[in-house]
Chains A and B, each alone.
Chain A
Amino acid sequence: MYSEKVMDHFTNPRNMGEIEAASGVGTVGNAKCGDIMRIYLDIDENHVIRDCKFKTFGCGAAVATSSMATELVKGKTVEEAMAVTNQAVMEALDGLPPVKVHCSLLAEEAIHAALWDYAQKNGIEIKGLKEPKKDIHEDEEEETDWQA
């Protein structure tokens, strides 16, 4: 079902983790739908992405697209990072099954959300970047009995 590249990025995710005091953080997705992606960016004074990390709750494709997206934006300027579209992520992974295309969209949105956070913090504008959709964490009351 998945390409070898997807399996590789799922099994050995690149850049998984957090960045303390990141220049920009973006979280997108919705636990209700089963995918949440968080991207951390470390950006230098020349607007170059020095480091990028991710955390993802989701299926194999969600993990693989996050991993690939971090690889694609690392070392790029923020403007160049805008060219990392979901299409680019999918191509780099040798394609995704049709039901998983939304994962690549989420990866693109997560990068944009992190860039937006960076732009807001620094009072700059990145060409083509729009305000991300509101993070849709649902505040559902939990009444589930957990075995702690």
Chain B
Amino acid sequence: MDGIVYLDNAATTKTAPQVVEAMLPYFSEHYGNASSIYGLGQESQKAIDQARERIGVSLNAAPEEIYFTAGGTEADNWALIAAAEAYEAKGKHIITSCIEHHAVLHTCRYLERRGYEVTYLPVKENGMVDLEALKQAVRPDTILISVMFANNEIGTIQPIEEIGRLAKEKGILFHTDAVQAYGHLPIDVQALSIDLLSASGHKLQGPKGIGFLYIRKGVKIRAFLHGGAQERKRRAGTENVPAIAGLGTAVQRAFTGLTERMEKESRLRDYLIRRIEEEIPYCRLNGDRTERLPGNVHFCFRFIEGESLLMLLDGKGICASSGSACTSGSLDPSHVLLAIGLPHEIAHGSLRLTLNQENTVEELDYTVEAVREAVERLRGMSPLYEDFVKQEKLK
């Protein structure tokens, strides 16, 4: 295989050439400040308006409900902190799930330190939020429910419609972190009763450092960055026009032929899953088999550790990721894998492969071969496997 096989699209994606092309004029040609009155500035304003319009259409939202941010993390921070502050007169209770991205979880911790109470919903073995637990968690002082659209590690798509309906019935704000889902699944904020939605540009072949928060009209949310009048005075700061223009183009690309792309990616995904399950013993697919992001494949391989696996795959030119402790920067493996009930030592042996439509069957075949070899090699080195084999012989 020449070059690299990129299977880490949940981490980030290659910026599409059309996106780069759409951005370039806004560096040294149309460099005006969108707040300026002269024509040069208005060129920038037009680009921003067009991107906002495209995003609005993609979500069945109005353009003025879209607020550009520096990415998904900022959108999550803003949604949670501002909603908590705006509605604290009603109560100080927030419900979220225990498998959220750290952008949500750590913001919840921050709010807890400031007197808010947070319920972290458990998930089922497939990574889905338990709707019964959600119903029971709702209290009169609950002001916000924040549940991710789809999980970044194991790819499980959450029952967003049901959660949205419940939130609406109870008069509670509903935020969803759709960073992994936006541009990969159809999302209709009206049909799903979503009040706040975070998304990021670089997960859909757009630029890094740009994202947005959808805020339903009528939701009282304060400014997050204070200063100029940009973003309807709710998010001050001169707009990142090239990135916004790039995001607009990325959104248009992502939603054109979305259904076909989802089908293609799901087929590739299921092919990869099937081959791994058939050819590598002692593996376990994590996440739901069908309610799953089209590009997500996530396995645990028993008796081995994830970072070693990634290093061997890297040696073969394959870019992948893992939820092992060594890759999380702490001693604990991923909180998502522990939340779905995996013991620590099994969670350490995880591998996430996230593909997109540009991946080929040849690349996947090459990857299966490389994973199989690497797993065998690491098992050959593993004292856990040695003990297991000896025990099996005794049986």
Contact = CB atoms under 8 A, between A and B. Distances in A.
Q: Do A and B come from one complex?
A: yes
A60 B329 CA distance: 14
Nearest to B343: A140
B344 A147 contact: no
B331 A33 contact: yes
B344 A34 contact: yes
A59 B284 contact: no
B282 A147 contact: yes
Contacts of B315: 11
A147 B277 contact: yes
A97 B372 CA distance: 29
Given A99-B329, A146-B283, A59 B381 contact: no
A59 B307 contact: yes
Given A55-B383, A60-B311, A34 B284 contact: no
A33 B325 contact: yes
Interface in B283-321: 283-285, 300, 302-305, 307-308, 311, 315
Contacts of B386: 18, 38, 55
A142 interface: yes
B308 A55 contact: no
Given A13-B381, A18-B386, A57-B382, A147 B283 contact: yes
Contacts of B305: 34-35, 57-59, 62
B303 A57 contact: yes
B346 interface: yes
Contacts of A144: 284, 300, 342-343, 346
A36 interface: yes
Contacts of A148: 281-282
Contacts, number: 95
Q: Which of B300, B341, B346 has the most CB of A within 10 A?
A: B346
A79 B341 CA distance: 46
A144 B348 CA distance: 14
Nearest to B344: A32
B383 A37 contact: yes
Contacts of A20: none
Contacts of B344: 31-34, 140
Contacts of B307: 59-60
A10 interface: yes
Contacts of B284: 144-147
Contacts of A32: 343-345
Interface in A3-61: 10-11, 13, 16, 18, 27, 31-38, 55-61
Q: Which of B280, B282, B343 has the most CB of A within 10 A?
A: B343
Given A10-B311, A31-B344, A57 B304 contact: yes
Contacts of B258: none
Q: Is the interface of B mostly helix, strand, loop or mixed?
A: mixed
B254 interface: no
B382 A59 contact: no
Contacts of A107: none
Contacts of A56: 381-383
A16 B381 contact: yes
A43 to B, nearest CB: 20
A147 B281 contact: yes
A38 B383 contact: yes
A59 B383 contact: no
A31 B388 CA distance: 14
Interface in A119-148: 138, 140, 142-148
Nearest to B307: A59
A138 B346 CA distance: 12
A146 B383 CA distance: 19
B192 interface: no
Nearest to A56: B381
A59 B345 contact: no
A58 B282 contact: no
Given A34-B324, A34-B348, A146 B302 contact: yes
A95 to B, nearest CB: 17
A113 interface: no
Q: Which of B284, B324, B341, B383 has the most CB of A within 10 A?
A: B383
Q: Which of B308, B324, B331 has the most CB of A within 10 A?
A: B308
24 contacts: A10-B311, A13-B381, A16-B381, A27-B383, A31-B344, A32-B345, A33-B331, A34-B326, A34-B344, A34-B345, A35-B305, A55-B383, A55-B386, A57-B383, A59-B324, A60-B307, A99-B329, A140-B344, A143-B341, A146-B282, A146-B284, A147-B277, A147-B284, A148-B282
In the A-B complex, the 9 residue pairs with the smallest Cβ-Cβ separation, listed nearest first, are A31-B345, A59-B326, A59-B307, A32-B344, A38-B383, A55-B383, A34-B348, A57-B382, A34-B325
Given A55-B386, A99-B329, 13 more contacts: A10-B308, A16-B381, A34-B348, A38-B383, A58-B305, A59-B307, A60-B311, A61-B326, A63-B308, A144-B284, A144-B300, A146-B283, A148-B282
